[in-house]
């Protein structure tokens, strides 16, 4: 028997960080959301362990960053060493605040993040959550979607209607199956043993840096996580460690270079098949996918969860516009047009790093890294532009800088821009102008604006809600043009 008559603006399948973040971003636009998840509660053990300053800025926009800071460890960087311990590649992550307004790199414990996300959601009347349910079907009509799910507690099926459905339901995504998309494979596929340990006491000799041991016989990653948590990721190959059968004595023998049973307890072990794949389609009609449902990458950059949060930030304001103003195919198509090339940059770099870690000739594989600094061996963080989408078509020649992430100015009040104007379009201008289309940040209210615009050789910049630049004005006349309501409407939404 099926029951149900509810109608939501958006149904999100999956209550992980991507789905939860998307729901909170949508709530900025008064979008009513239902989250469906098969599990009863948060998975209590470590999974994702890293995010960067851009992602912390998204968390700032959903107002959890301040509470989250207490649970984080600022990561000083990553070092790649050979079997002799000699440095091959350095990836420093300076501890000073970046132009995004946060530290460059953070280590975290995923249950801490998820608890804060769920607490924020529990306080939000626009977001409904249904756990312990399996989505059975997603059907699309011209003006809505129908989602059928089985409630495991009540033992019966329900259905709901929504304007849109977003599958944030992980690597084995049901929503992706309904989308009928193909997957592009970038070739990196290996079995690794992931070991999360809790130290009994501080062991500073293990170090604060992430270490990549580039040894073709036994590649290993070491991560210094918050508090006493530490992680080792160990390549195991196809011939060793049967799935779900991990011998403790053999495990401790593998870890003996770093810790013994007297030093730590094992919190979690898992065997993963690291993959590098991306869906060719992320949207069809009213069904979309995000996070691991859309892409998987090796963990060597710590960007897997980050990519999902970027998906949510890119997609949220576009869905909100369609809900308030009617379905806009061009706008929704821009989601995959922009995000696929962007996430592909991270996947390809992660694959190159994985090949370096596993290489018998690491010096040769260093040359494959796009961001390698040949003078000092240091790697720079990726900051790719968005892919070229149709919403840029009305901006003449897509001026240099459009589609690139913009920094976060601090106001004279001491507040950061996103604390005052979270997840909405903003015009950053060298002069104050009168406009009712979006807030204005200028030297009148921020001391940082002049330098930020001077770096871009710009008079003004129109910033999207996801903090990527939409348009750059070189003079006062162009500033008036990009800030007019007609121009903003054409730039963002004209079909």
Domains of the chain, by residue range, sit at 2-71+108-183+278-338, 393-493
d(CA 167, CA 169): 5
Strands (E) in 31-126, as ranges, are 33-36, 50-52, 73-74, 77-82, 87-92, 105-107
pTM of the predicted structure, to 2 decimals: 0.94
Q: Which of 337, 342, 423, 332 is nearest to 23 (CA)?
A: 423
The pLDDT, as a whole number, for residue 245 is 64
CB 465 within 8 A of CB 423: yes
d(CA 196, CA 24): 30
pLDDT at 25 exceeding the cut of 70: yes
The pLDDT, as a whole number, for residue 396 is 47
pLDDT digits 0-9 by tens, 256-309: 999 999 999 999 999 989 999 999 999 999 999 999 999 999 999 999 999 999
HSE-up of residue 136 (Cα within 13 Å, Cβ side): 13
pLDDT digits 0-9 by tens, 194-246: 999 999 999 999 999 999 999 888 899 999 999 999 999 999 876 556 555 67
Question: For the domain 2-71+108-183+278-338, what is the CATH code?
Answer: 3.50.50.60
Residue with tokens 């608890």: 115
CB 168 within 8 A of CB 291: yes
Region 365-382: what's the mean pLDDT? 63
CB 87 within 8 A of CB 80: yes
Q: Which residues of 408-437 are buried (b: 16+ CB within 10 A; e: fewer)?
A: bbbbeeeebbbbebbbebbbbbbeeeebeb
393-493 shares the fold of 2-71+108-183+278-338? no
For residue 391, the 8-state DSSP code is G
CB 107 within 8 A of CB 385: no
% of the chain residues with pLDDT over 70: 91
pLDDT digits 0-9 by tens, 166-176: 999 999 999 99
d(CA 205, CA 337): 46
45: tokens are 């053990």
HSE-up of residue 252 (Cα within 13 Å, Cβ side): 9
Question: For the domain 393-493, what is the CATH code?
Answer: 3.40.30
pLDDT digits 0-9 by tens, 300-356: 999 999 999 999 999 999 999 999 999 999 999 999 999 999 999 999 999 999 988
């Amino acid at each position: 028997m099926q029951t149900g008559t509810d109608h939501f603006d958006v149904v999100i399948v999956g209550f992980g960080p991507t789905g939860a973040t998307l729901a909170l971003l949508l709530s900025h636009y008064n979008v009513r959301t239902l989250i469906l998840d098969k599990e009863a509660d948060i998975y209590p053990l470590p999974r994702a362990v890293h995010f960067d300053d851009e992602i912390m800025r998204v968390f700032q926009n959903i107002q959890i960053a301040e509470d989250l800071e207490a649970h984080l460890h600022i990561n000083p960087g990553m070092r790649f060493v050979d079997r002799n311990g000699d440095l091959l590649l350095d990836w420093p992550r300076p501890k000073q605040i970046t132009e995004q307004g946060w530290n460059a790199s953070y280590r975290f414990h995923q249950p801490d993040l998820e608890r804060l996300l769920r607490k924020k959601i529990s306080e939000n009347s626009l977001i409904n959550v249904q756990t312990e349910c399996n989505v059975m079907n997603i059907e699309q009509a011209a003006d809505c979607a129908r989602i059928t799910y089985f409630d495991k507690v009540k033992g019966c099926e329900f259905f709901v209607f929504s304007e849109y459905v977003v599958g944030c339901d992980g690597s084995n995504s049901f929503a992706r199956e309904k989308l009928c998309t193909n997957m592009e494979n970038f070739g990196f596929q290996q079995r690794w043993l992931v070991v999360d340990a809790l130290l009994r006491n501080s062991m500073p000799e293990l170090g604060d840096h992430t270490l990549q041991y580039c040894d073709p016989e036994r590649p290993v990653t070491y991560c210094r996580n918050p508090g006493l948590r530490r992680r080792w990721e160990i390549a195991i190959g196809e011939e060793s460690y049967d799935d779900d059968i991990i011998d403790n004595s053999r495990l401790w023998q593998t870890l003996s270079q770093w810790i013994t049973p007297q030093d730590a307890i094992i919190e979690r072990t898992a065997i993963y098949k690291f993959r590098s794949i991306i869906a060719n389609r992320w949207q069809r009609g009213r069904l979309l996918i995000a996070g691991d449902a859309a892409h998987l990458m090796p963990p060597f950059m710590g960007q897997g969860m980050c990519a999902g949060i970027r998906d949510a930030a890119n997609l949220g304001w576009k869905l909100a516009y369609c809900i308030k103003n009617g379905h806009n195919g061009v706008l929704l198509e821009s989601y995959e047009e922009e995000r696929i090339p962007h996430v592909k940059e991270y996947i390809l770099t992660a694959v190159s790093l994985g090949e370096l870690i596993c290489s018998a000739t690491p010096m040769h594989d260093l040359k494959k890294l796009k961001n390698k600094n040949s003078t000092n061996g240091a790697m720079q963080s990726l900051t790719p532009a968005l892919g070229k989408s149709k919403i840029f078509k009305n901006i003449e020649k897509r001026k240099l800088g459009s589609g690139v992430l913009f920094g976060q100015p601090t106001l004279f009040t001491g507040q950061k821009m996103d604390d005052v104007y979270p997840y909405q379009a903003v015009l950053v201008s060298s002069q104050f102008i009168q406009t009712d289309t979006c807030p204005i940040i200028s030297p009148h209210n921020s001391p940082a604006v002049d330098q930020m615009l001077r770096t871009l050789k710009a008079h003004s910049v129109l910033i999207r809600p996801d903090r990527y630049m939409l348009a750059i004005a070189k003079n006062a006349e162009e500033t008036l043009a990009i800030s007019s309501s007609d121009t903003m409407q054409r730039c963002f939404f004209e079909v």
